[in-house]
Chains A and B, each alone.
Chain A
Amino acid sequence: MGYHMSLSIRLTINGLKREIALDDPRVTLLDLLRERLHLTGTKKGCDRGQCGACTVLVDGRRINSCLSLAASLDGAEITTIEGLADGEDLHPVQAAFIAHDGFQCGYCTPGQIMSAVGLISEGNAGDDPERIRELMSGNICRCGAYQGITEAVLEAQKDLAERNRRDAA
């Protein structure tokens, strides 16, 4: 028979292993990050998987943290916007978002960036802007920074590919 969990879970968040005592089984990953761990870079825009502002990487895959029960992710590795830069060195996606003005108010931006990082690692878009637009469509930007976002993803992807080539050489 199954067991009632102790409500204690382990997560690796931005490289840091954490033992987390959940106060309530209802806690979503998003509310765990924001309200318990005070990692507020991840944003709540709709809380229903409809806007993408809460996008984080779970075991390397981009997902909506608002529709993930924290308890269910026991053992997972989470990357949030706070874990992307290397100290003061921005991740190429972050730098490209600035260079291409891929945001205005900035509220959807952490989700856009995490989604872009996920998109690039999925490797399904190639350098086709239409595929990037389609695969970034889970992240709503009400300010309408889409053109800059698409350009930023293209450039960051190129940048990352070059880095990988350099590293491999």
Chain B
Amino acid sequence: MNRFDYIRPASVPEAVEAAAVPGSTYLAAGTNLLDLMKGGAARPERVIDITRLPGLDRIEWLPDGSVRVGALVRNSDLAYDDRFARTFPAVAEALLSGASAQLRNAATVGGNLMQRTRCAYFHDLASACNRRAPGSGCDAREGENRLHAVLGWSEHCIATHPSDFCVPLVALDAVAEVAGAHGAREIPVDALHVLPGATPEQETALAPGELIVSLRIPAEAAAFARNARYLKLRERTSFAFAVVSVAAALEMEAGAIRKARIALGGIAAKPWRAREAEVSLEGAEANPEAFAKAAEMALAEARPSGDNAFKIELARRIVARALTLALDGTPEAMPALPASPFSTTPGANHAA
């Protein structure tokens, strides 16, 4: 870890001002930043510790029914907040399927939104990586890439976004509230993470020095509370990043689907909202054919970036499964194995 100046501002404006100096980075819990610094993928000259900023650790319900979650709220505190978990169950389930209990106890909402890719070539300083070192190339492209992106990738970068939390957030139209040198603004989470294109080093829509101060989930998202799931396929039962994951939410009306939300994780440089698939379900009867069609549409544009064609088929299947599970209804209690296929029944249509 390189040497750095440690700065502990007392207010958001102070923090933003401190971060205006090039080479600065914000530190919250550090569960991602310290990992990056130990590996050398991040070498900030100034570390701005925002953990003491006042007012960012609250879960605040607004009069219109939306919720504002401070950027410093810990993942576990949010997931275990009763009202939050009841209102946005897929978000709570996603949170509890991520990392480990210890990491969730530390990691913050803002930090989760800002976490960097797990692409091994990004973390390996000896590898070419356009995301870490613009213009150096992408060694993942011809490398060990069975878990890399199948949607939205470019020749310059095939990394995926590792967050679970962000997947249902994107599905539910959550918004990041941002402070910066030029004032406050809002960025939909769907627009926060950007696809690599020719500039993979540009990972988010934030301007330098901008700070996420809170997250807002709109009131409309609560309409999905009864039929919302997050499903995550992993290579071990717990404490693993997603091979593919999906958040699926349905608003049912008299047996038909009024609205649907679908977002995928682990398959692109951002959480992937499948809007056309959602539209295909609106007004449709909720049945396996409709779900299969939606799954097909969600992956219509997918193509392998390497040895990962299986992820496309897997993603199709997991979309259909998650929709089935959402239709079955949000479980009364958080499953013992949140988001695991083994947490719950695969659905009646799979019985032999």
CB distance from A94 to the nearest CB of B (A): 19
Considering the complex, give the chain A residue whose CB is closest to the CB of B14.
A2
| A48, B40: Cα distance in complex, Å | 12
| A26, B9: Cα distance in complex, Å | 18
Asked if B10 and A2 make an inter-chain contact with CB atoms under 8 angstroms apart, the answer reads yes
- 1/0 contact trace for A129-169 toward B, CB 8 Å? 01101111111100000000000000000000000000000
| A5, B8: Cα distance in complex, Å | 7
| A118, B74: Cα distance in complex, Å | 15
| A7, B6: Cα distance in complex, Å | 9
Is the C-beta of B1 less than 8 angstroms from some C-beta in chain A?
yes
Q: Which of B38, B51, B100, B237 has the most CB of A within 10 A?
A: B100
A48 with B35: in contact, given A2-B8, A68-B106, A72-B51 (CB under 8 Å)? yes
Asked if A63 and B238 make an inter-chain contact with CB atoms under 8 angstroms apart, the answer reads no
Stretch at the interface among B25-33, B63-71, B302-310: B25-33
CB distance from A152 to the nearest CB of B (A): 17
Asked if A124 and B80 make an inter-chain contact with CB atoms under 8 angstroms apart, the answer reads yes
Asked if A52 and B3 make an inter-chain contact with CB atoms under 8 angstroms apart, the answer reads no
Is the C-beta of A42 less than 8 angstroms from some C-beta in chain B?
no
What residues of B have a CB within 8 angstroms of the CB of A69 in the complex? 6, 27, 30, 34, 47, 49
Is the C-beta of B351 less than 8 angstroms from some C-beta in chain A?
no
Is the C-beta of A71 less than 8 angstroms from some C-beta in chain B?
yes
- 1/0 contact trace for A26-54 toward B, CB 8 Å? 10100000000000000000011100100
Is the C-beta of A98 less than 8 angstroms from some C-beta in chain B?
no
CB distance from B208 to the nearest CB of A (A): 18
Q: Which of B51, B80, B101 has the most CB of A within 10 A?
A: B101
Considering the complex, give the chain A residue whose CB is closest to the CB of B17.
A1
Contact of B31 among A61, A67, A124 (CB under 8 A): A67
Is the C-beta of B225 less than 8 angstroms from some C-beta in chain A?
no
Asked if A119 and B101 make an inter-chain contact with CB atoms under 8 angstroms apart, the answer reads yes
Asked if B38 and A72 make an inter-chain contact with CB atoms under 8 angstroms apart, the answer reads no
Contact of B103 among A2, A26, A64, A128 (CB under 8 A): A64
Asked if A115 and B102 make an inter-chain contact with CB atoms under 8 angstroms apart, the answer reads yes
Asked if A62 and B6 make an inter-chain contact with CB atoms under 8 angstroms apart, the answer reads no
Asked if B7 and A49 make an inter-chain contact with CB atoms under 8 angstroms apart, the answer reads no
Residues of A within 8 A of B (CB): 1-5, 7, 24-26, 28, 47-49, 52, 55, 61-64, 66-69, 71-72, 115, 118-119, 122, 124, 128, 130-131, 133-140
| 8 residue pairs, one from A and one from B, having the closest CB atoms | A138-B100, A2-B9, A137-B238, A25-B6, A130-B336, A63-B106, A61-B105, A137-B239
Can you give 29 A-B contacts (C-beta < 8 A)?
A: A1-B17, A1-B18, A5-B7, A26-B4, A28-B34, A49-B35, A49-B99, A49-B102, A52-B102, A61-B105, A62-B105, A63-B29, A63-B103, A64-B102, A64-B106, A67-B34, A68-B30, A69-B30, A118-B101, A122-B76, A122-B101, A134-B237, A135-B101, A137-B101, A137-B237, A138-B99, A138-B100, A138-B102, A139-B100
- Besides the contacts A52-B100, A138-B101, what 7 more A-B pairs have beta carbons closer than 8 Å? A3-B8, A49-B103, A67-B30, A67-B35, A71-B8, A134-B238, A138-B100
